[in-house]
Amino acid sequence: LDIFATRARTREARLQVELAQLEYTYPRLRRLWTHLSRIEGGIGTRGPGETQLESDRRLVRRRIRDLKRRLDEIDARKERQVASRRERLTVGLVGYTNAGKSSLLNAVTDARAYVEDKLFATLDTRTRAWALPFGLTALLSDTIGFIRDLPHHLVASFKATLEEAVHADLLLHVVDVSTEHIQDDLEAVGRVLEEIGCAEKPQLVVLNKVDLVANEAYLDLARRRSPGSVAVSATRGDGLGDLAEAVVERLMGPER
């Protein structure tokens, strides 16, 4: 949560992080005040620790309600934005944190999304127009990076950020092929997609960072595990043409 907090750049992201922090803290408030209650609270009396605990709980509950209301308003706006795009092709970028999603967004759309080699560098959704072959254009959206064992309350807190993936026509599952933990990353992302209702949505696996692969066996193994995947280097531009063609085929069918 501390890492999330340092990456929050927009109002929406800051609200999401604060909600996640409070929902994590709320059930632990009693433990924070137990020691003070035992020291200052007499038998059969309500000590200052207990009184402060009740006050803190009320304040936290009130703030959680307020944050949820604000995020619901943002979510409603996003729903309207998504609805307005229904007539256009939409593609969502998903993947384990630090897989290179923002770099890929920049590479194929000539955008300037924030890119940094850090966990959770992207907490906000960015959408850009992507010029595809045959005169087609798709809206490409970047999303928050996933992690293993992502707590349920975090998934709920970042629901608005993940909305683009929920409504996309196609998901590009970006995988860092230079890591030794490819299968673990694939499974972690799969679990989060299942939780947000995207497990059955059409996906294209993008094997990113091929320029950093020290052992070709990793790349061969990744290709076998993900038939039909496309290997690219977002930073060097390798394979981006093949990726665009594969996206068109997935969106429009092989006859095009």
Do 156 and 125 belong together in one domain?
yes
Q: Give a yes or no: residue 82 inside a domain.
A: no
Single residue among 77, 108, 143 that ends a domain in this structure: 77
Query: Can you give the pLDDT of all 256 residues of the chain as single tens digits?
Result: 555 555 556 677 778 778 888 887 887 776 655 545 544 544 444 445 457 778 888 888 898 899 888 888 877 776 666 555 555 788 999 998 889 998 999 999 876 545 444 444 444 457 888 999 988 889 898 887 776 665 655 555 556 667 778 888 999 999 999 988 888 888 888 888 888 888 889 999 999 999 999 888 878 888 888 899 999 999 999 999 999 999 999 998 755 4
Query: 111 — alpha (psi -120 to 50), left (phi > 0) or beta?
Result: beta
* Torsion 55-59-62-65 (CA) sign: negative
Same domain, 149 and 221: yes
Question: What is the spatial distance between Cα 55 and Cα 53, in angstroms, rounded to a whole number?
Answer: 5
Residue 125 within any structural domain of the chain: yes
Residues 165 and 91 in one domain: yes
Name the pTM for this structure: 0.64
Report whether 108 contacts 244 (CB < 8 A).
yes
Same domain, 121 and 227: yes
The residues near 106 (Cβ < 8 Å, ≥ 6 apart) are: 112, 113, 115, 234
Q: Do 119 and 231 share a structural domain?
A: yes
Range of the domain at 125: 87-252
Same domain, 73 and 92: no
Which of residues 31, 48, 77 is at a domain's end? Answer: 77
Q: How many domains does the chain have?
A: 2
Q: Which of 24, 59, 77 is the last residue of a domain?
A: 77
